[in-house]
Structure 1
């Protein structure tokens, strides 16, 4: 597995065997930093940190020059600067990243209609139906890399494999600016020596639980007893890991762009201890989440909050609602209830509200009595007013004077999704 900074990079020769493959995973290289260099070539070759310069924010992305010092995304900017004092801090320009992302995705869609975007800078492509037009999967991967570089001006890395899971690992191993082909017959040999941390869906806590039991590689997962895996990570994840470790992954490339979650966060300029203020802030964020749900005609059945304390420890809590909703008041009440259950009282630097497990609005219908009828009427009127006058002019009275000035909104990586 690579180190995230280009060390340990593995790429395929030009004549690599791609028998049995059909899935490409394409990942832009240090995308945010690459776009900044594209717009300002004087930044090329410099260690770049994409983030707010106030030191209290977190790193959105970093160039490979900065990553070699240990800098990585989600790290506090202050810590990143200690690791790499010579780094240049560049504020993020999300509108540009989305603009360039649209160019890249258009290239993918001109090659195959089966494109599944995962975020602004990565996507799966199923190329089995376009081989007569463009050639073998390896040839198509080469074409993708060539066109992205020539037409957009940035580089990408591509994994070519028989399944989505293996293709994603292969693209990571080949970064930056590389291509790795894993023939279907070579799948197990490729997977076995990889770290359990390379597996899609295995987070740091799950990896630690596995490693504490001596399960360090994907081969170890294959050889481990199922009861041991169940105890380490739970039956659901154990079942999925066992299949992936054997190279089994039946997931198809899904072309429908379904939002999995919608959320908003707020990072405060100064740590906050006033719990009344924090509860009001959660309600304000819930208003924004609810408004986005209604615009997209979605409802949420699960509300989650995130709270980051002054020592950067972050906790999350979630609650499944009795009925799916897009009513901001209901989302806010759920968020406040979750917050009230947190016993820790340390200063808070960030709070967030997220709507999860989305479904089309109205899917469950309304009962004989609609307890939220009044709130729907009020929030519908607010939505209409915002559409006419803008969000800066409309809001709850309790939020006057609190607003955006307390911090900077942190937006999700891609169109509000995770």
Structure 2
């Protein structure tokens, strides 16, 4: 039986800003560049009370919370704090799987520091984070990654929630299916048509019916509904790709996709700041109204240096879609792939200049 922690820093970027600038404490802080195409990188809990959330268009955040203080992101500072937190994790276990700058899975089945329980280890880590960084973190403790991630959000901010093996079924039963990763609005609607609203409803459906309707994702739904997740914590997994996608309320023609592409490029670019690696290849993903999936990609000589460049390339990739003009699209996605370490990219750029 594994003992897994999911540690999640509380409103990380906004909390760093409030820590470093006392005038921001207690005020609604939105970490974002201003502009029509900008998206929210993070929001303090004071701003979240107005409905402001990360990845939301900055203009909408401003409408929801007119008194919000907008602060441009400073990823150099955020990464420095993240490294401090990572060192605390590694003092307790070598099995640390970072998900981003502000969250990670830890396998503490056999901790490096003697501890009476996984819960005690989580509390020790949280205390060290507070002492070292003057920031708070929330933790989920569970027998697997799926449950630990849900649990870490249960007592936010600055809390711990434990899902014991004997209580898994009871914990999951009343949860809405939206709490299962991958169940977005479109999938929620499809499940609702089957009478599935809660995880208990989902558990009542036979596995073969779920697989028949949703393929491999149906099998995953069957397992998650029972709290089953055999994925191990995998340390030092380098980022290979980052993407964002959106399903439209109604199908759109290709020439109407630019606003969505630019918004998703902003979202994807903001997500790349959570890794220290550099993406080289721009990917445009499309799904037609008939559920046909297309991808088009381009690798420029130098990696994209900003959201606008990423968006410009993604928009240009539409010219390589050779379907009839009458084709309608239900989904679009923008991604970056081919991630490399910064030193490797710098060397490749230097050789390219030499040529």
Q: By how many angstroms is 1:216 displaced?
A: 1.1
Structure 1: how far apart are the matches of 2:340 and 2:131? 39
Structure 1: how far apart are the matches of 2:333 and 2:163? 42
1:192-203 correspondence to structure 2 within 5 Å: 192-203=173-184
Please tell me the root mean square deviation across aligned C-alpha atoms, in Å: 4.1
Instruction: Compute the TM-score of the two structures, normalised by the length of structure 2.
Output: 0.74
Matched, 1:256 2:222: no
Q: 2:18 — aligned with what?
A: 37
Q: By how many angstroms is 1:352 displaced?
A: 4.9
Structure 2: how far apart are the matches of 1:251 and 1:169? 15
Q: By how many angstroms is 1:202 displaced?
A: 2.2
1:175-324 correspondence to structure 2 within 5 Å: 175-226=156-207, 228-230=209-211, 234-261=214-241, 304-305=283-284, 318-319=294-295
Q: 1:5 — aligned with what?
A: none
1:38-117 correspondence to structure 2 within 5 Å: 38-117=19-98
Partner SS for 1:52: coil
Kept after mapping to 1: 8 A contact 2:2/2:107: no
Q: By how many angstroms is 1:135 displaced?
A: 2.7
Kept after mapping to 2: 8 A contact 1:62/1:71: yes
Q: By how many angstroms is 1:53 displaced?
A: 2.1
Structure 2: how far apart are the matches of 1:56 and 1:113? 40
Partner SS for 1:252: coil
Q: By how many angstroms is 1:47 displaced?
A: 0.8
Q: By how many angstroms is 1:192 displaced?
A: 1.1
- Cα deviation digits, residues 280-307 of structure 1 (max 9, x gap): xx9xx9xxx9xx9xxx89998xx62269
Structure 2: how far apart are the matches of 1:157 and 1:93? 23
Matched, 1:383 2:332: no
Residues 129 and 351 (structure 1), Cα distance of their counterparts in 2 relative to 1, 3 Å cut: closer
Q: By how many angstroms is 1:354 displaced?
A: 2.0
Q: By how many angstroms is 1:317 displaced?
A: 6.8
Residues 297 and 154 (structure 1), Cα distance of their counterparts in 2 relative to 1, 3 Å cut: closer
Residues 387 and 101 (structure 1), Cα distance of their counterparts in 2 relative to 1, 3 Å cut: farther
Match of 1:164 among 136, 141, 145: 145
Return the index of the structure with the highest Cα Rg: 1
Structure 1: how far apart are the matches of 2:182 and 2:190? 14
- Cα deviation digits, residues 51-102 of structure 1 (max 9, x gap): 1123431111111111111111111111111111111111111111111111
Kept after mapping to 2: 8 A contact 1:131/1:137: no
Q: By how many angstroms is 1:254 displaced?
A: 0.3
Instruction: Compute the TM-score of the two structures, normalised by the length of structure 1.
Output: 0.64
State the number of aligned residues.
Answer: 309
Q: By how many angstroms is 1:131 displaced?
A: 7.0
Structure 1: how far apart are the matches of 2:347 and 2:138? 47
Residues 36 and 261 (structure 1), Cα distance of their counterparts in 2 relative to 1, 3 Å cut: same
Q: Gaps (5+ residues) in structure 2?
A: 245-254, 287-291, 305-309
Ranges of 4+ aligned residues in structure 1 off by more than 4 Å = 296-300, 325-329, 331-339, 342-345, 350-353, 379-382, 385-388
Q: 2:289 — aligned with what?
A: none
Q: By how many angstroms is 1:263 displaced?
A: 7.3
Q: Gaps (5+ residues) in structure 1?
A: 1-19, 265-274, 308-315, 361-378, 389-393, 395-418
